[in-house]
Structures are given as C-alpha cells and as structure tokens.
Structure 1
Amino acid sequence: MRNLSIKNLSGPTGILAALVVLIVLFSLLNPRFASVENLQNVLFQVSVPLIIVVGTSLVIQMGSIDLSVEGVMGAAGMAWILLSPNTRLEGDIGVWAWFVALGLGLVLGLITGAIYAKLKVPSFVVSLGTWYVGLGIAILLYGNALLPSLTSEALARWPTQLTLGLPNCFWLAAVILAAGVFVSHYTKFGRGLMAIGNNEPIARSNGMPVDRYKIAAFAIAGTLCGLAGILATMQLGSGSPDIGFGQLFVVIPAAVIGGTALSGGEGGVIRSAIGVFLLIILNNGLVLAGVDPDYQSGVFGMILLIAVIAVAWPQRGRLKVAK
C-alpha cells in the first residue's frame, strides 16, 4: 500500500494535484498570487524553461542527459543580439540573425550527439564539455567592449506584449510545447527515443537507426536551447554570456518531478512541462508569501529535494548513471 501511494505521487495525477495544492496555498497566503497580473508574470517566467524542457525531455526519454543548456543559450543569445539592432555594432541582418543563432545551437547539439553516439562517450561528459565550449564562444563574442543592448524597441517589448491576454513569449513557448508533444507521442521518432530508453540493444536488433536518433535528439535540444537563449536575451534587453544561468537546475529537476525518468523509457514532454509549471509557481509563490530572500533558496531546495526523491524512488532500480 505504501509503494502504491509513492507511485501515485510520481504519476501525472499526483503532479497535477500538487500543482493545485500549491496554487490554493499561495492564494490563501497572498491573494495577489491569484491576480491576472501575477498569472501573466508566471507565464512570462515559465516561457524560457518551457522551451528548453521540450528538448531536454527528448534526450532524457532515451536515457541520456544534456548538460549543455546554459552554454548553448549564452552562445546563441550573444550571436543573435550582435546581429540584431544593438548599441555596439551596426551589423543588423534582420531575420537572418535568428537563423545564425539557431544554427549555432543546432551545430553545438549535433557535435554533442555525434560524439555521444559515434564515440560512445557518456552523454553527461560530452554535454558538459559542450556547455563550456558554448560559454567560451559567448565570452569571446561578449569581449571587453560596450555592453550590447537592444536598440529596437519592438524587439525589446515583444516578449511582454499581450496577445489575447497572454504574453507573446508564452505563446511562442506554447507552440514549441505543442510541437514537442506531437513529436514525442505521435511520431516514429518519438516512439523510437522511448524504445531506446527502454532497451537500446533490442532497439538495435530490430533495425532501428539508434545513432541517428540520438544525434537528432541532441540536435533538436541544441536548437531549442538556442531559441531559449534568443528569447531570454530579448527579455533582458541586452546580451550576456550568463543569460542561461540557473536554467539547467530548473529543467532537469522539472522533468524528473514530472515523471520523465532519468533511466529513460518513461514520461514525456507533457509531464516535464507540468514539472516546469510546478517549480516556477513554487518560486513565485515563495516570493509573494514574503519568505525572506535569505531563506528562499533553502526552502525551494528542500521542497525540490523531497519532490525528486518521492518521484524517483519507484524507479531507483532502473536509474543509470553512466548512460
């Protein structure tokens, strides 16, 4: 009976129930939490990690891990702003700046996937190296000159502008999320990633192009990290190599809390997205509840640790450290 209750906590019903409890609790602690303005603020905050977690979930589904998030975001964000209207350079290339930045994320993802799949280096080692490669690119682009800030008011204001009452940045994240759900659950590629996570040797023996699937998953994750870097840069209004700071420690715990097992073969994009909402709402609620900033990180970390243990415990026998 005890095991059953723990498993229920890790299911989508349990996560949704926890989300509802948090919303009710924080609304009682501070009525402002349930205001339209705060809802819009939460959707603004959730946009970037929601985009990242789509790619992260595809990688985790096959039993791998991608730690390159922050470095790829920094590189793509810096590339984009330097090729857009900014205070440092006059090299505005319009929409092509998006293609360059997204292409950079794609290339970094392809490199990570190729080394992982073809050279059999553990994914956490390869992606950790890609993190620092991306960070190095971002620092080189940042240089020692004037801080690059957006001079286009339209670009700077786009993420916060409302369409049908919701921030534009959230609509972008929602489109990416919908595409991720379709790929993960309704395509041969998505089912293939799940099969690899469940049992890679059997997937190979059935003729599945496992290496191609692995490379493609990391390529998608890199591209989405690039998009997240662009969006985060737009939200900030200026370039920074550290634009992705802290995002890795939101999306991976969010995926685990949502029920996307680190061992692979279980969960998916929808459940990971619910985990993102839970963590962002938790952080937002702690702030509005008046928790002292000196204690917020500790309280957040403690609740996060309890949640991760509750979710991961039923799968403890399947977790693989070196895959």
Structure 2
Amino acid sequence: MTSVMHEDGPRGAAGMKRNGNASMRRLIAEGAKGPIGLVAALVVLIVVFSFLNPRFASIENLQNVLFQVSVPLILVVGATLVIQMGSIDLSVEGIMGAAGMAWILLSPNTRTMIDLGMWAWLIALGLGLSLGLMTGVIYAKLKVPSFVVSLGTWYVGLGIAILLYGNNSLPSLTSDALARWPTGLTLGLPHSFWLAAGVLLFGLLISNYTNLGRGLMAIGNNEPIARTSGMPVNVYKIGAFAIAGLLGGLAGILATMQLGSGSTDIGFGQLFVGIPAAVIGGTALGGGEGGMTRSALGVFLLIILNNGLVLAGVDPDYQSGVFGLILLIAIIAVAWPERGRLKVAK
C-alpha cells in the first residue's frame, strides 16, 4: 500500500517527469541522425537531375527552386508542430484561401480600390489565427478528432473565401511593388524565401527552446504522463493549431502575392506537400518524434523532385505517377532505418 501511495504521490509524478525528460533527450539525440539520410537523398537527386539537364544546376533554377519552396516551407512549420503531438491539420487549403482573399481585397486591387496597408496583413493573419484557434479549441475542449475538426475548418475557410470572392470580377494586385516583392532578390535569394527562412527559424526556436515545443513532443510521446506531470496539455494543443492557422494565413498571403490575383483555391495541393514532407523528414504521424530541420529538408526534397522531373522532360501526363512512385521510394528509404522506433497512426 505504501509503495502504491509513493508512486501516485508527488515523488512518483516527479519520477515520471524525470523519465519524460530522459525520453526527450533520447529523442533529440536520435533525431540528430535523421537529416543524414535526407541530405544524401537530396544530393542524389541533384546529381541525377543535373546530369539529365545541366540547366537544373544553374543559378536561375536554384532561385526558382527557392521561390517554389517558400510557401510549403512556411506551412510545414505549423504542420510539424501539430503532427509532433500526434494530431493532424487538414485545414491549410481553406485557411490559405480565406486569408489570401481577405488580404488582396484590402490591398491595392482592381475591384475594391482599397489599400489598408499593414492592416490588410493584420486582418488576414488574424483570420488565419482565428480559424486555427477555432480548430484547437474544438479539438482540445470538445475532444473531437483533429482529422474531423480540421477538415471542417478547411470547408469553413473555403466558404469564407468564396463569400469574399463573390460574383464580381477577379481581384488583381495593382501595386507593382507588392506583385514583384516575392521574386525580388536580396543577396541573390528571393524575398519569399527569406520570409520562409525567417518562419523556419521561428519554428526552430519554438520547437527547441520553449515549453510549448517540448510540451508538444511530450504529448505526442505519452499524453497521460504529460498530464500527470502537470503540463497544460489543452493549452499546448490549442497553441499548436493557432500557430498552424497563423502560418496558413501567412502562406495564403504570400501565395496570393506570387500569383498576383485572388483565388479561392490558392492553397490547392499544398496539403499534399506539407504532410508528406514532414513524414519524409521523420515526423511520426503518431507523434513524439521529428523536427523542423528534417521537415524543411523533406520540403526541399519534394520541390527539387518536382522541378527536376519538369526539366528532365518527363511527359506531363506521367509526371504525377513518376512523382508518386519516387516519393514512395523516398519515404521507404528514409523511414526504413528508423522503422523500429517510428510510430504509425491507427
């Protein structure tokens, strides 16, 4: 009886907390090995595609790759935080559509002739944040599975985008400065990539140096222990979805700038880049494992693969099939050495 009371008391909880911290240190140490396989895969792709078409290794194409990688790199930061705690966020395309349409209608455009300046950014980002908060609250407080609630948020965001689009003419940017900003260069790199790199740094800081980042990993690794140790699990869950929503809004704005006009489906296809990139990077769908750097490398792998197939002259009718086959091989190649510890979502 004494032994049971001892384990259930504060000292027992402290012991579980120490075990959780030890597990966290082990996961971080093991995670450092993960990028080696991803870097090797990237090198192989670069060598192969450079051989197939020398244009692949040109400075112009490098800049093009960095331009293409910007939006999914922003999205994968939020996706990684959510997946690390054992959840999934399917709302990204809807949030991007809603935020992108809100931003362009409040910026210099051919329809409204309105220019709210930075307020357009704040309102659009606030919309993305609000949708993310809604997802997190319903998931954490009402215990609705993240798959279901985020799918609902996707359609809520899409509905907002369609309402904002209305039946009028397509809104296009009238500000050359805004339209050209994503492709402008600083130190030889596109502005859009610098923005994405800043977001990635933000994600790294949260993931590695804050209670939120460590808490999300602990929740994914063992939620009951996280709760027993006194961790504010629900707050962390809501926070992860809120950040993902905020970054989804930012990605929607950037994608709209890149396109130069508003579109309700501005985020089309992005969901199927962010989540596979995180998984390729070793972020287990069951939670508790992964990292921002590895997810970022996963994004680069997918974008380089797609870019290389185009330059290699693969027939567009076959590109999706070839891309899917190579993607499957890449996932197996990266995950196979870690198969003993990777979790699989049921």
TM-score by shorter chain over 0.5: yes
Q: Tell me how large the CA RMSD over aligned residues is.
A: 1.5
Structure 2: how far apart are the matches of 1:149 and 1:204?
Answer: 49
In the alignment, what sits opposite 2:306? 283
Provide TM-score, normalisation by structure 1: 0.95
Count of matched residue positions in the alignment of Structure 1 and Structure 2: 314
Alignment gaps of 5+ in structure 2? 1-29
Aligned to 2:345, which of 297, 320, 323? 320
Provide TM-score, normalisation by structure 2: 0.89
| CA 30–215 in structure 1, closer or farther in 2 if over 3 Å, else same | same
Matched residue type, 1:153: D
Structure 2: how far apart are the matches of 1:80 and 1:227?
Answer: 10
Q: Deviations over 1:299-319 (max 9, x none)?
A: 001111222344455168732
In the alignment, what sits opposite 2:6? none
Q: Which runs of 4+ in 1 moved over 6 A?
A: none
- Is 1:160–2:179 an aligned residue pair? no
Say if 1:117 and 1:215, in contact at 8 Å, map to a contact too. yes
Matched residue type, 1:190: G
Aligned to 2:94, which of 33, 52, 71? 71
Q: Deviations over 1:51-98 (max 9, x none)?
A: 000010000110100000000000000000000000000221111000
Say if 1:256 and 1:311, in contact at 8 Å, map to a contact too. no
Matched residue type, 1:290: G
Alignment gaps of 5+ in structure 1? 1-6
Q: Deviations over 1:272-292 (max 9, x none)?
A: 000000000000000000101
Say if 2:37 and 2:334, in contact at 8 Å, map to a contact too. no
Structure 2 SS opposite 1:199: helix
Aligned-pair CA distance for 1:185: 1.1
Q: Where does 1:201-216 land on structure 2 (aligned, <5 Å)? A: 201-216=224-239
Aligned to 1:91, which of 91, 94, 114? 114
In the alignment, what sits opposite 1:148? 171
Structure 1: how far apart are the matches of 2:48 and 2:92?
Answer: 32
Q: Where does 1:120-269 land on structure 2 (aligned, <5 Å)? A: 120-269=143-292
In the alignment, what sits opposite 2:326? 303
In the alignment, what sits opposite 1:35? 58
Mean Cα deviation higher: 263-272 or 71-80: 263-272
Structure 1: how far apart are the matches of 2:340 and 2:68?
Answer: 30
Structure 1 SS opposite 2:181: helix
Structure 2: how far apart are the matches of 1:315 and 1:237?
Answer: 47
Structure 1: how far apart are the matches of 2:213 and 2:319?
Answer: 37
Structure 2: how far apart are the matches of 1:308 and 1:315?
Answer: 15
Larger-Rg structure: 2
Structure 2: how far apart are the matches of 1:169 and 1:270?
Answer: 18
